[in-house]
Amino acid sequence: MKIAIKTLGCKVNQSESDILAAILKSENISL
């Protein structure tokens, strides 16, 4: 998962990648 997030971050803007990371973190906390 972390590797996929990093590759997405390279293709996507940092701001968007930060949003994705925040969403994933919130999902992990909810789970």
d(CA 16, CA 20): 6
pLDDT, position 11: 62
List pLDDT tens digits, range 1-31: 566 666 665 666 677 778 888 888 888 776 5
d(CA 15, CA 29): 21
Buried b (16+ CB within 10 A) or exposed e, 1-31: eeeeeeeeeeeeeeeebeeeeeeeeeeeeee
d(CA 25, CA 31): 10
State the distance between the two ends of the chain, measured CA to CA, in whole angstroms: 16
